[in-house]
Amino acid sequence: MIAALVPVKRLATGKTRLARDLDRAGLAELVLAMLEDVVAALRAVPDLGCVAVVTPDPEVASAARRFGARALLEPAPGLGPSLDAAARRLAAEGATALLVVLGDVPGAQADELGQMLGALRELGGRGVVLAPARDGGTAALLRAPHDLIESRFGPESAEAHRDLAKHAGVPFRELVLPSLAIDVDSREDLEAFLASPAGGPRTRACLRALGFEARG
């Protein structure tokens, strides 16, 4: 089984770089709208056996269930430890591969996510498939098995994941996928997302309701 895992921080502390553009309530609405878009895209990928959201926030967990995902409440501090703890739980339940997709790539589209699974099949079912974000981060990472390389999500994580795969000598494929290129952390990212042809209908509707208008 291939499982998908979406990490989301606490609503009260996330997306601080957007605090000048949206108040805390608006930021929470945006985070949940982006999560709903990401979960919807993952649920439309036929070969995924499970879509789960890992979070320390009960409100996010409740929303994940409404969106049709499994909720994994994980209090471990830091993105890496919480992802690893959730991955171990899913592996113990039969997941042989893990696709991690960040919860702030609302443009994600099922066909491009499916390309990552196709790339893994081309690698023989064992290896690492990376989809980098335009800012040098990692938008999505597929590993089979889940602990083939470490999780190094964060700034410049795409390069970190490339290096880990190279040093481990494991099969590796990198895909530049337009719908996954923009992870929303700043006003500039929101502008780029709104100008893109990618998906994210719930996020776009949320931003309209919040009165957010793209510049220019």
Closest CA to 130 of 95, 92, 102, 91: 102
pTM for the model: 0.94
φ, ψ at 99 (rounded to 5°): -105, 110
- Is the pLDDT assigned to residue 134 strictly greater than 80? yes
Burial 97-107 (b: 16+ CB within 10 A, else e): bbbbbbbbbbb
Task: List the chain domain ranges.
Answer: 2-209
Are residues 18 and 27 in contact, defined by beta-carbon separation less than 8 angstroms?
yes
Are residues 91 and 145 in contact, defined by beta-carbon separation less than 8 angstroms?
yes
Spacing of C-alpha 31 from chain mean position: 12
Q: How far apart are CA 157 and CA 151, in angstroms?
A: 9
Q: Pick one of 3.40.190.100, 3.90.550.10, 3.40.50.300, 3.30.420.40 as the CATH number of 2-209.
A: 3.90.550.10
CB atoms within 10 A of CB 166: 12
The predicted pLDDT at position 163 comes to 97
- Is the pLDDT assigned to residue 38 strictly greater than 80? yes
Give me the percent of the chain exceeding a pLDDT of 90: 78
The predicted pLDDT at position 216 comes to 46
CB atoms within 10 A of CB 25: 10
Q: How far apart are CA 203 and CA 201, in angstroms?
A: 5
Q: How far apart are CA 86 and CA 140, in angstroms?
A: 16
The predicted pLDDT at position 76 comes to 66
The predicted pLDDT at position 105 comes to 96
Q: How far apart are CA 138 and CA 163, in angstroms?
A: 13
The predicted pLDDT at position 82 comes to 87
Which pLDDT tens digit goes with each residue over 55-112?
Answer: 999 999 999 999 999 999 988 667 888 898 999 999 999 999 999 999 999 999 999 9
Which pLDDT tens digit goes with each residue over 204-215?
Answer: 999 999 887 655
Beta strand pairing call for 97-101 and 2-7 = parallel
Q: What is the 3-state secondary structure (H, E, C) of 153-174?
A: CCCCHHHHHHHHHHHHCCCEEE
> Which of the residue ranges 32-41, 92-101, 121-130, 205-214 would you say has the lowest mean pLDDT?
205-214
Residue 3: which H helix or E strand, with range?
Answer: strand 2-7
Mean pLDDT of the residues in the chain:
92
Closest CA to 128 of 168, 183, 176: 168
- Is the pLDDT assigned to residue 173 strictly greater than 50? yes
The predicted pLDDT at position 129 comes to 98
